[in-house]
Amino acid sequence: MPKAPFNAWLVPAGRLLLLLGLCFLIAGPWVCSIPQLQLLTQFLSLLVIAIMWNLLAGYADIVSVGQHAFVGIGAYAFFGFAVFAGFSPYLALLAGGATALVFAVPVMLIIFRLRAAYLAVGSWVVAETLMLGAGKLTAFGGGSGVSMPVSVVRSLGVQPALRYSHIYWLALAVAAVALATTWLLMRSRIGLGLTAMRDNEEGAGSVGVNLIRSRILCFLWTAPFLGLAGGIITLQKLRVAPPASFSITDWTVYVIFIVVIGGIGSFEGPIIGTVVFFLIRQYLAEIGVWHFIILGMLSIGVIMVEPRGLWGILRRVVPGDLIPVSHRPPARPLAGSDSAPSGTHLKEPHSTPAG
Question: Judged by CB, which is closer to other proteins: 102, or 117?
Answer: 117
Binding to other proteins, residues 247-276 (CB under 8 A): 248, 253, 256, 260, 264
* 50 vs 82 by CB, closer to other proteins: 50
Whole-number Å distance between alpha carbons of 291 and 295: 6
Q: Which is nearer to other proteins, 185 or 260 (CB)?
A: 260
CB closer to other proteins out of 52 and 152:
52
Q: Which of residues 130-189 bind other proteins (CB under 8 A)?
A: 132-133, 136, 143
Identity of the residue, 80 or 122, whose beta carbon is nearer to other proteins in the bound complex: 122
Cα 59 from Cα 53, distance rounded (Å): 10
Q: By CB under 8 A, is residue 128 in contact with other proteins?
A: yes
- What's the per-residue H, E or C state across the chain? CCCCCCCCCHHHHHHHHHHHHHHHHHHHHHHCCHHHHHHHHHHHHHHHHHHHHHHHHHHCCCCCCCCHHHHHHHHHHHHHHHHHCCCCHHHHHHHHHHHHHHHHHHHHHHHCCCCHHHHHHHHHHHHHHHHHHHCCCHHHCHHHCEECCHHHHHCCCCCHHHHHHHHHHHHHHHHHHHHHHHHHHHHCHHHHHHHHHHHCHHHHHHCCCCHHHHHHHHHHHHHHHHHHHHHHHHHHHCEECHHHHCCHHHHHHHHHHHHHHHCCCCCHHHHHHHHHHHHHHHHHHHCCCHHHHHHHHHHHHHHHHCCCHHHHHHHCCCCCCCCCCCCCCCCCCCCCCCCCCHHHCCCCCCCCCCC
Q: Which is nearer to other proteins, 307 or 330 (CB)?
A: 307
Amino acid present at 304: M
For residues 185 and 264, which CB has a smaller minimum distance to other proteins in the complex?
264
In whole angstroms, the minimum distance from the beta carbon of 309 to other proteins comes to: 11
| Closer Cβ to other proteins, 22 or 260, answer by number | 260
Residue 27 Cα distances to 60, 79, 349, angstroms = 35, 29, 21
Per CB under 8 A, 61 contacts other proteins: yes
**Which region among 22-30, 45-53, 105-113, 319-327 touches other proteins (by CB under 8 A)?**
105-113
**Shortest spacing between CB 243 and other proteins, in angstroms:** 11
Closest CA to 59 of 310, 266, 206: 266
Nearest to 98 by CA among 277, 231, 238: 231
Q: At its nearest, how many Å lie between other proteins and the CB of residue 301?
A: 9
Q: With CB under 8 A as the contact rule, which of the stretches 60-68, 208-216, 323-331, 339-347 interacts with other proteins?
A: 60-68
Q: Considering the rule CB under 8 A, would residue 303 count as an interface residue with other proteins?
A: yes
Question: With binding defined as CB under 8 A, does residue 129 bind other proteins?
Answer: yes
292 binds other proteins (CB under 8 A): yes
Binding of other proteins at residue 284 (CB under 8 A)?
Answer: no
Q: Determine if 21 is a binding residue for other proteins (CB under 8 A).
A: no
- Contact status: 328 vs other proteins (CB under 8 A): no
Task: Lay out the site mask for other proteins across 204-243 (x = CB under 8 A, - = otherwise).
Answer: ----------------------------------------
- Give the integer Cα–Cα distance in Å for 238 and 249: 19
Interface ranges with other proteins (CB under 8 A): 57, 61, 63, 65, 109-110, 113-114, 116-118, 120-122, 124-126, 128-129, 132-133, 136, 143, 248, 253, 256, 260, 264, 288-290, 292-293, 295-297, 299-300, 303-304, 307
